[in-house]
Amino acid sequence: MVFSEAMKNSEIFFGKDIISLDQFNRKSIEFLFQQTIKIKKIFMKKGRHDGRPYRPLDGKIITLLFFEPSTRTFSSNSAAVKRLGGQTIEHQNPMQNSSVVKGETIEDTIMMIEQYSDAVVIRHPQVGTAEKVAKVANIPIINAGDGIGEHPTQALLDMFTIYEKYGYLDNIKGLVVGDLLNGRTVHSLIKGLSIFKNITLYLLSPKQLRLSNKDLEKAKKRKIKLVEIKSFEEIPTDCHFWYWTRVQKERFIDKSEYEKLKLSFILTKKLVDMKAGKNTLLMHPLPRVGEIETAVDSDPRAVYLTTEAKNGMYVRMALFSLILKS
C-alpha cells in the first residue's frame, strides 16, 4: 500500500506494514524524517520529553523474527523498542530453534506470534516473504530484509543520514559500489532516492554483479539517472555520498566465483584523498569483509561505524512510535 497524500500526518503510518520503499512518497518520507529528528533530539537529552520520560511504546511487545544473521538491524530494532519503553520477543535462527524445525509454515508461525505481539520485524532469505506474511497477519509487519529483494528501513536510515548532513534530498549525486545484483540495500536505496528530484547515482561493480536489466529498466521508469562506470578513475569528485557494499557470499552457489570477486573494489585512504569531496559521506550498510580499509575509519567523512549505524536506531524509533502510537 502507498501512503496516501490525503491522510493526516499522524495517520500516515499508524497500523501500517513496512514492506517496500514502493509504499512511500515524498510526504511520508519527509514526515518520518521530521519525527526522527524530534526523537533524536529527545534522546540526546537522555530520553526525556517536557521533563518526563518519553515512553510511547509502554506496554507494547514487538517480536523480532530473524531467519538470517544480523548484528545492526537486529540490535537497533531491539534497542529502538526498549528505549521507547516497549519490550521484545526475540527469535534468532528460528530454522533451528522454533517450530519451523518441525515443519510449521511461515504463515502459521506469524499467526501464532501475533497472539503475543503488537508488531513483527522479520528477516528472511526468500524474496517476498514479508509481503506474504503481511497478508495473513492482523498486526503490522516490518520487512528487515527479504533475500535479495529489499531492506526498506536500511534505505530509510541511509537516506536520513544524507538528509541530516545536507538538509535536502533533491539534486543529490552518489556513488554506489559492490554487489549491486544481490544488494537488497542498494535496491531499496535506489527506490527511495528516486522519489526525489534530479538524482544521479554512479554504479561501480564487477560485471557479474551489475544491476539486472530488469532493475535498470525499473530505475529508468522512475526517472532516476543511473550511470554505470568501470573504474575508480571515472568516479566524479563532487558526490554527496559514497555507498560501499560487500560482495554477498551467501548468495553465491559457486564459492570459487565469490573468492574471485569479493575484493574487486577496495575503499582505501588513498582513494578517499584522491576522489572524495571534503563533505562526501563515506557509507556502508555493514558488515564489511575487507572492502574498506580500517585506515578509512578515522576519516571524519566516514559514518558507517558511527552516525549511519546510530541513525538506524533513531529511524526505527520514529517508525515504531508512528506505527504503534496509542
- Which residues are the active-site residues? 72-73, 102, 123, 151
Hey, what's the cell of 294? 580500517
How many residues are present in the chain?
326
Query: Residue 206 CB: number of other CB atoms within 10 A?
Result: 18
Enter the C-alpha cell of residue 304: 558507517
Residue 14 to residues 7, 146, 319, 322, Cα–Cα distance (Å): 11, 23, 9, 6
Taking the mean position of all CA atoms in its chain, how far away is CA 246?
15
Q: Are 157 and 308 in contact (CB under 8 A)?
A: yes
Q: How many angstroms separate the most distant Cα atoms in the chain? A: 58
DSSP string, 7-26: S-GGGSSTT--B--GGG--H
- C-beta of residue 276 within 8 angstroms of C-beta of residue 301: yes
The one-character DSSP state at 295 is G
Contact 261, 193 (CB under 8 A): no
The secondary structure of 23-87 as a DSSP string is: G--HHHHHHHHHHHHHHHHHHHTTSEETTEE--TTTT-EEEEEESS--SHHHHHHHHHHHHTT-E
Q: Within 13 Å, how many C-alpha atoms sit on residue 280's CB side?
A: 24
Strand order in the sheet with 87-92: 87-92, 61-66, 119-124, 141-146
For the record, the C-alpha cell of 311 comes out as 541513525
